[in-house]
Amino acid sequence: MTVLVFTFALLGTMALGLPVAFALLVSGIALMVTQGQFDTTILSQKLIEGADSFPLLAIPFFMLAGELMNSGGLSKRIVNFALAWVGHIRGGLGLVAIFATVIMSAISGSAAADIAAVGTLLIPMMRKAGYNVARSSGLIAAAGVLGPVIPPSIGMIVFAVMANVSIGKLLLAGVFPGLMLAVALVIAWLWVVRNDKIEALPRQPMVERMHAGIDGIWALLMPLGIIGGLKFGVFTPTEAGVAACVYAFVIGVFVYRELAWRDLYRLFVQAAKTTAVVVFMIAAALVSAFLITTSEVPQQVAAMLEPFIGQPKLLMFVIMVLIVVIGTALDFAPTLMILTPVLMPVIKQAGIDPIYFGVLFIINNSIGLITPPVGIVLNVVCGISKISMNELMKGLWPFLIAELIVLFLLVLFPSLVLVPLKWLM
């Protein structure tokens, strides 16, 4: 009964156009009324407790780092570096898009921001070179999945806080699966363009390549510094966000000199607005999580999944299929915040490593960013490329299938996540 009340309240309020954060609060109130214990004091206390979390400080810092990176010229130099080294290969602009997205994902952790930066630079170039626009746009949209998987990932930070697992371990666990997704996109891209008649860019002389490398070295060092600092314990994830901000600021202002002092206020305000939306959503989700727990919703879900509890791989497969389906109707954030408190007790009962589950859960939610009708990355790419959603989906399918294959392999072989994590730790 409580599962139906929560689901109906959530989907009903969202269907009426209520923002996700408020829909979560309404769902929580509905559960309180069902239990006969409506109390505004509990509601307000849990809302404040939800936002009062030190690990969540990493979110505004990485948001600001992304803003500083884009305005300071770091994003542009990452793309230019990739163009110089692989732009001349057949289908090279697609490889540039994947490479640039991998690097930028290791800086900002925001899919929409990464794709907006890469797509704005590369889609016009790919159109001019004769690439199929729908297919090129589909590749760039699919590359957006890498943003929340490769550390630093805002989604992983949120999951770690809600699931009470180590943020550092979860971030490092996303490195190898993220690279697997990138390799899958490269293979799919080279396969779909093998017969296309496209104009390759001229091969850059070695002098130009070296110049692009030297010019972009400061941008390329940033993700290495973040991941290396996490691996060797130089700083915590929150401190990594601070370091990323300081680094992007110094390079943008004093090295590349594309970031003006007058821009800082605008960037601070933009990062603050984005952070406020995310943190309020997290606080509202934790209110719902508390009431979901007291309403014994996880126990009811566990009872439904009980036939699979003794078979971890089969249970993971069932959960992944369920999340793929849910991801077509809900965006990344609400799926993450609604299902984490519901599924974590089941995962622990089945003896599945919470870090392993967290990585697959984030990958699956990220794939939801490119599944219609609500995939936010799809809408960003459609706006950049000026094509319809139907056209974009025709070009997206090969890359979406490639990413689902990687997800399926990770379900079958958990060691693909856990063994590289042991090395990184």
Token code pair at residue 384:
């950049």
Structural domain contains residue 387: yes
Structural domain contains residue 18: no
Average pLDDT for residues 4-14, to the nearest whole number? 76
Q: Is the preceding peptide bond at 373 cis, omega within 30 degrees of 0?
A: yes
Structural domain contains residue 149: yes
Average pLDDT for residues 94-119, to the nearest whole number? 79
- Least confident stretch, 2-6, 103-107, 270-274: 2-6
Give the number of other CB atoms < 10 A from CB of residue 388. 11
How large a percentage of the chain has pLDDT more than 70?
Answer: 95
- The CA distance from 284 to 295, in Å, is 17
What is residue 189's predicted lDDT score, i.e. its pLDDT? 93
What is residue 194's predicted lDDT score, i.e. its pLDDT? 81
Kindly tell me if the per-residue pLDDT of 200 is higher than 80.
no
Q: What share of the chain is helix, strand, coil (3-state, %, to 5)?
A: 80, 0, 20
Average pLDDT for residues 28-35, to the nearest whole number? 79
Structural domain contains residue 1: no
Pick from 72-76, 102-106, 245-249, 329-333 the range whose average pLDDT is largest. Answer: 245-249
Structural domain contains residue 322: yes
Model confidence, pTM = 0.82
- How many folded domains does the chain comprise? 1
Per-residue pLDDT of 366-414, as tens digits, reads 998 888 766 778 877 888 888 888 888 899 999 999 999 999 999 999 9
Helix (H, G, I), strand (E, B) or coil at 56: helix
CA 248 to chain centre: 20
What is residue 2's predicted lDDT score, i.e. its pLDDT? 67
Per-residue pLDDT of 248-300, as tens digits, reads 899 999 988 888 889 899 989 988 887 887 788 778 777 777 777 676 666 67
User: In whole angstroms, how far apart are CA 125 and each of 36, 120, 203?
Assistant: 60, 9, 16
Kindly tell me if the per-residue pLDDT of 108 is higher than 70.
no
- The CA distance from 298 to 294, in Å, is 9
CA 198 to chain centre: 31
How large a percentage of the chain has pLDDT more than 90?
Answer: 23
Cα torsion 99, 104, 106, 112: sign: negative
Place of tokens 């590369």: 122
User: In whole angstroms, how far apart are CA 129 and each of 113, 123, 199?
Assistant: 25, 10, 5
- The CA distance from 263 to 68, in Å, is 9
For 198, residues 6+ apart whose C-beta sits below 8 A from its C-beta are: 90, 91, 129, 130, 131
Kindly tell me if the per-residue pLDDT of 4 is higher than 80.
no
Kindly tell me if the per-residue pLDDT of 55 is higher than 90.
no
Amino acid letter for position 240: A
Average pLDDT for residues 196-202, to the nearest whole number? 72
Structural domain contains residue 23: no
Mean pLDDT of the chain: 83
* Domain ranges, residue 369: 39-424
DSSP label at 204? Answer: P
Structural domain contains residue 6: no
Per-residue pLDDT of 121-172, as tens digits, reads 788 888 887 888 899 999 999 998 898 898 878 889 889 988 889 988 999 9
Q: Report the largest interatomic distance among the alpha carbons of the chain, rounded to a whole angstrom.
A: 74
What is residue 356's predicted lDDT score, i.e. its pLDDT? 96
Per-residue pLDDT of 57-98, as tens digits, reads 877 888 888 788 878 888 778 888 887 887 777 778 888 889
Structural domain contains residue 52: yes
